[in-house]
C-alpha cells in the first residue's frame, strides 16, 4: 500500500513536470551556464537563473509570479558583450501554440537589490505566429518544442550594466486560458554602447498588457484569425 501511494505521487509529479518546462541552461559568448532545475532552495549546481518555487504555469499577466516565475535571486552572474548571442535551452517543452518573448531589465545597482520593479522592462526579441491557423504549430513556442532552444541577440548599442534577461513562453494551447512560463537570469553586459530604450518600448511586469489583450486571451481553436500580435511593447533592437 505504502509503495503504491508513493509510486502514485511520484508518477503524478512526473506527469505534471512533463507537461511544463523552464530554461535549464544558457550558452552565452561560448560559455555554458547551468540554469535552475529544482525547486528552491536548490541543491543543484549554482546558477545564474533566479530560483523559482515550482513548475506550475502562471495564469495571469497580473500575478507577481509572472515576472521571474517567483524567482528573486541567483548566486551567479554571466557576462555578455552587447551584440552577442544568448541561447536559452530547455530540457523539455510540450506546447506548440503561443509566442516566445525575450525581455531585459536594467538594474539600478547590484543584483541583490534588483527586484524588477517599475516600467523598465523591454523586449529584445519575440516570435508570435508565423503562419495560420492559431491551432497550428507555426509559432515561436512551436520552434522551442522542436529545437529546445531559443537564441537572441543583445542589442549591440545597449549601455553596459547589470541586467535581468527574461525568457517568456506564453502557452495558448488551451483556449482562453493562457499559461505564462518565464524565468530570469542575471547578465552583466559589457561594451561601449550608450543606448537604452525609452517610452513606448518599456513596460512593467507584472501587468505588461491587459489580461484581456487579444494576444493573451486567445480562442485558439474557435477563432478564425489569421494574424496574431504578441502582447506588450514592440521589440527594441537598439
Ligand atoms: C524594489 O526596489 C526598489 C529600488 O530599486 C524599491 O524602491 C522598491 O521598494 C522595491 N520593491 C519591493 C516590492 O521590494
Ligand atoms: Cu505545461
pLDDT at 171 over 90: yes
Q: 10: how many CB neighbours lie within 10 A of its CB?
A: 10
With bands split at pLDDT 50, 70 and 90, how would you rate the model's confidence at 14?
very low
Residue 10: partners with Cβ closer than 8 Å, 6 or more residues away: none
Structural contact between residues 66 and 121, judged by C-beta atoms closer than 8 angstroms: no
- For 18-39, the pLDDT digits (tens) are 468 899 999 998 899 988 887 6
Does the residue 230 lie in any domain? no
Range of the domain at 193: 21-201
Is any ligand 1 atom within 6 A of the Cβ of residue 117? yes
pLDDT of residue 11: 39
Does the residue 42 lie in any domain? yes
Does the residue 6 lie in any domain? no
Please state the rounded mean pLDDT for residues 197-202: 96
Average pLDDT, the chain: 91
Please state the rounded mean pLDDT for residues 165-185: 98
The alpha carbon of 195 and the centre of ligand 2 are apart by a number of angstroms equal to 37
The alpha carbon of 29 and the centre of ligand 2 are apart by a number of angstroms equal to 30
Please state the rounded mean pLDDT for residues 217-235: 97
Does the residue 183 lie in any domain? yes
- Residue 44 belongs to a domain with what CATH number? 2.70.50.70
Is any ligand 1 atom within 6 A of the Cβ of residue 10? no
Q: Please give the share of the chain, as a percent, with pLDDT higher than 90.
A: 83
Does the residue 211 lie in any domain? no
Tell me how far the alpha carbon of residue 84 is from its chain's centroid. Answer: 18
Q: How many domains does the chain have?
A: 1
pLDDT at 90 over 50: yes
Is any ligand 1 atom within 6 A of the Cβ of residue 14? no
CA distance 109 to 3: 51
Q: Residue 14 to residues 55, 94, 136: CA-CA distances in angstroms? A: 11, 14, 27
The alpha carbon of 59 and the centre of ligand 1 are apart by a number of angstroms equal to 24
Please state the rounded mean pLDDT for residues 37-50: 78
Please state the rounded mean pLDDT for residues 57-62: 97
pLDDT at 1 over 60: no
Task: Quote the strand ranges of the chain, DSSP E.
Answer: 23-28, 31-34, 78-81, 85-90, 100-106, 121-127, 149-153, 161-171, 179-190
- For 105-125, the pLDDT digits (tens) are 999 999 999 999 999 999 999
Does the residue 56 lie in any domain? yes
Least confident of 4-8, 56-60, 131-135: 4-8
pLDDT of residue 37: 80
pLDDT at 70 over 80: yes
Q: Which residues lie near ion ligand 2 (Cβ < 5 Å)?
A: 19-20
Does the residue 1 lie in any domain? no
115, 116, 204, 207: which to mutate for ligand 1, most atoms within 8 A of CB?
115
Predicted TM-score (pTM) of this structure: 0.92
Does the residue 154 lie in any domain? yes
72, 109, 117: which to mutate for ligand 1, most atoms within 8 A of CB?
117
Amino acid at each position: 500500500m505504502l509503495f503504491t501511494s508513493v509510486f502514485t505521487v511520484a508518477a503524478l509529479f512526473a506527469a505534471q513536470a512533463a507537461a511544463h518546462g523552464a530554461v535549464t541552461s544558457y550558452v552565452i559568448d561560448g560559455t555554458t551556464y547551468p540554469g535552475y532545475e529544482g525547486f528552491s532552495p536548490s541543491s543543484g549546481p549554482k546558477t545564474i537563473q533566479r530560483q523559482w518555487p515550482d513548475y506550475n504555469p502562471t495564469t495571469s499577466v497580473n500575478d507577481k509570479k509572472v515576472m521571474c516565475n517567483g524567482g528573486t535571486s541567483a548566486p551567479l552572474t554571466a557576462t555578455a558583450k552587447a551584440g552577442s548571442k544568448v541561447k536559452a535551452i530547455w530540457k523539455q517543452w510540450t506546447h506548440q501554440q503561443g509566442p516566445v518573448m525575450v525581455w531585459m531589465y536594467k538594474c539600478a545597482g547590484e543584483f541583490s537589490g534588483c527586484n524588477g520593479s517599475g516600467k523598465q522592462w523591454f523586449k529584445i526579441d519575440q516570435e508570435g505566429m508565423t503562419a495560420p491557423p492559431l491551432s497550428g504549430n507555426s509559432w515561436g513556442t512551436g520552434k522551442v518544442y522542436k529545437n529546445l532552444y531559443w537564441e537572441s541577440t543583445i542589442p549591440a548599442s545597449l549601455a553596459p550594466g547589470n541586467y535581468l534577461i527574461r525568457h517568456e513562453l506564453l502557452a495558448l494551447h488551451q483556449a482562453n486560458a493562457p499559461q505564462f512560463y518565464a524565468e530570469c537570469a542575471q547578465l552583466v553586459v559589457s561594451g561601449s554602447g550608450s543606448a537604452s530604450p525609452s517610452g513606448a518600448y518599456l513596460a512593467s511586469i507584472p501587468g505588461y498588457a491587459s489580461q484581456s489583450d487579444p494576444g493573451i486571451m486567445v480562442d485558439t481553436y474557435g477563432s478564425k484569425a489569421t494574424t496574431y500580435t504578441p502582447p506588450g511593447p514592440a521589440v527594441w533592437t537598439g
